[in-house]
Structure 1
């Protein structure tokens, strides 16, 4: 007959008690963790301790200047909402379909509003919202697609919004501070800051339009909806119109462009006066693609004259276009510089002429049969 070993029972008892103790401790810890928030709330005071406000002190000088600039400029910036009238082919009812939003600014006391052409392009109507909340139906005064500038007008009988002060862009320096005010993504009257990143940039034109030249590049945040808004210097003066961004994603990527105010000052008064901008011209015909082919064949740079309009300024100055012979096309005069500024292509020639006014006399350096000569030409109205 087998009997239980008393020594083995005595050896296993401490092991069992130890595991029971460990299990009990784990259970107690889990209960404490579960009810810890309630215990803390029971032990904490019934009323929360009041915190004292730390005195901030005076704002920095640059902060004060930025705040003052925004407060003084805000009323000169407007919010533009465009729509397109669509006729239902079944009911023949006309509906106003929202098209987009943009920015603009007050040009003068007569109620003229300046914005980008692409903001109102294709729209049937535009509503101007002022900073004080008033809305006005806008009338189109004139556009210059080549400069991406449009002028609208609203009828403001009282409490006219102030016009934005006008600055200059010819004396801008890379690195100076700039401020953009607009309505990005519909977020009205947004202020962003940055610097002038580069000058004299060019962007290719859209829809067959000529390239936009002399643009200001800035890293001030510019997004869709900022188009048409003012770019200001640290004195609150207009130095450009925010017009485009460079971004693979379509949002701010640190590179924005603005039409310089010197261009705006040349274009807007004409739009207000006549409804269109008359570009200075020589009275010649040129073609970008054909010019590149001719340059590839002959080498060098410049712009070949394809045709001279009879009775034009270029005709009076003696310029000659290309000729068609039995041997083929004989290239005409090649313009290599304007007022001692080298001309590399058609876009640069048009940009140099656009800096002038109708009636100005420019001196062209023209090459014919390997010989250079200087030809003064009085600029005429373009088409």
Structure 2
């Protein structure tokens, strides 16, 4: 489950349902409950009558309090129907994954026989296209000897690994049976989501069957480090829809039922869900997944620096305006694009208020005219808007003066 007080892979407890205003006329009563239903939906009048049998139907001239109660019932019924509709429409495109791995155990441990054994892991995924490709987390299928896909109707079939990428913790597998092609799920735009918007997680937690949880987007623009990578994932989505073991690789949906993220980690002190779930932004998957399908891998652009966001204290130590923003270059890799372009790294430390701070070196303030507030923005712009071989114009601050510099992007080392 991984890393105390930091990253644990997709686990949690249910979170409360968020009520949101949706303009939707409730349909007639459902006679058969469907998976994911919160409650049977009836017309507003029927709901009001069942909830308050002793109260006569109010006329249009009823009290404001009564009208407010009716309005609340209508909103609740509409919300319930929206949630059920999201589940019904998307669950055919969500899959459970059963991963079988072989492990070898030596005979040096007393009482433990030597030999080859099998271990099992589980996760979730979603159908990417109509060719049977499924996107999930790399950590879900790592080391797999056999990958079994479980569809929402209980059908099971085998899949093969097409490609994976440690730097985004994404992988693509494909259902080998060409007669089985579940419908592709709709993709959203992770750049447009905001804190407070509805977040819905669907997956196969604990391998007990498909389920959904809901909450809100609680933050955007987080940065995480996958367990098998030396590089950061930018623009990560934070949410409080409960995610549990087995939700890894499953979709995070918006109110339209479109994928905005791929559930991958939680932050927890106990290993249990504490209300902080993290999802890879779907816009990164839009870059990585097609390359995994075509080539089995994805090549990232690479500057070749280590940096830190400029704080007020760093700006003061460098005798710059206190509101100076950007990324201070701390180190430049040998033979990298940064070294070839002539970027300078910080060359000394100074002490302010008892803390050592790096000074000197270039501050990256913009790339191709796009202002950058810190190192996270440098990583995000590089990944999202450049390719190896691209020439990018950097705006930097050097010795208190702004200047432009062209950097030809390299490729990330493996």
State TM-score, norm by structure 1: 0.72
**Root mean square deviation of aligned Cα:** 3.4
2:127 corresponds to 1:106: yes
2:288 corresponds to 1:261: no
The equivalent of 2:87 in structure 1 is 70
Superposed, 1:77-226 pairs within 5 Å as: 77-87=94-104, 94-98=116-120, 100-207=121-228, 209-226=230-247
Task: Tell me how far apart the structure 2 counterparts of residues 82 and 117 of structure 1 sit (CA, whole Å).
Answer: 12
How big is each residue's C-alpha offset from its partner over 1:113-134, in whole Å with a ceiling of 9 and x where there is no partner?
1111221234443221122222
Superposed, 1:318-329 pairs within 5 Å as: 318-319=342-343
- Closer, same or farther: CA 319–140 of 1 in aligned 2, 3 Å: same
Task: Tell me how far apart the structure 2 counterparts of residues 173 and 101 of structure 1 sit (CA, whole Å).
Answer: 31
Candidates 239, 249, 252, aligned match of 1:231: 252
Structure 2 unaligned segments of length 5 or more: list them.
Answer: 1-39, 48-76, 108-112, 321-325, 348-358
Task: Tell me how far apart the structure 1 counterparts of residues 130 and 225 of structure 2 sit (CA, whole Å).
Answer: 34
Asked if structure 1 preserves the Cα contact closer than 8 Å seen for 2:332 and 2:338, the reply is no
- Closer, same or farther: CA 103–64 of 1 in aligned 2, 3 Å: same
2:396 corresponds to 1:366: yes
- Closer, same or farther: CA 74–267 of 1 in aligned 2, 3 Å: same
- Closer, same or farther: CA 199–104 of 1 in aligned 2, 3 Å: same
Find runs of 4+ consecutive structure 1 residues off by over 6 angstroms. 295-298
How big is each residue's C-alpha offset from its partner over 1:39-70, in whole Å with a ceiling of 9 and x where there is no partner?
xxxxxxxxxxxxxxxx9834822222221221
Asked if structure 1 preserves the Cα contact closer than 8 Å seen for 2:138 and 2:164, the reply is yes
Secondary structure at the aligned position of 1:249 is classed as coil
Which structure carries more helix by proportion?
1
State TM-score, norm by structure 2: 0.67
How big is each residue's C-alpha offset from its partner over 1:246-279, in whole Å with a ceiling of 9 and x where there is no partner?
2222222222111111111111111111111111
Return the offset for 1:158.
Answer: 1.8
Secondary structure at the aligned position of 2:252 is classed as strand
Asked if structure 2 preserves the Cα contact closer than 8 Å seen for 1:336 and 1:367, the reply is yes
Task: Tell me how far apart the structure 2 counterparts of residues 334 and 270 of structure 1 sit (CA, whole Å).
Answer: 33
Return the offset for 1:334.
Answer: 4.5
Secondary structure at the aligned position of 1:152 is classed as strand
How big is each residue's C-alpha offset from its partner over 1:138-157, in whole Å with a ceiling of 9 and x where there is no partner?
22222222211111112132
Superposed, 1:43-62 pairs within 5 Å as: 57-58=42-43, 60-62=77-79
Asked if structure 1 preserves the Cα contact closer than 8 Å seen for 2:226 and 2:233, the reply is yes
- Closer, same or farther: CA 380–88 of 1 in aligned 2, 3 Å: closer
Task: Tell me how far apart the structure 1 counterparts of residues 229 and 186 of structure 2 sit (CA, whole Å).
Answer: 34
Task: Tell me how far apart the structure 1 counterparts of residues 271 and 207 of structure 2 sit (CA, whole Å).
Answer: 15
The number of equivalent residue pairs is 319
Between the two structures, name the one with larger relative contact order (CA 8 Å, sep ≥ 6): 2
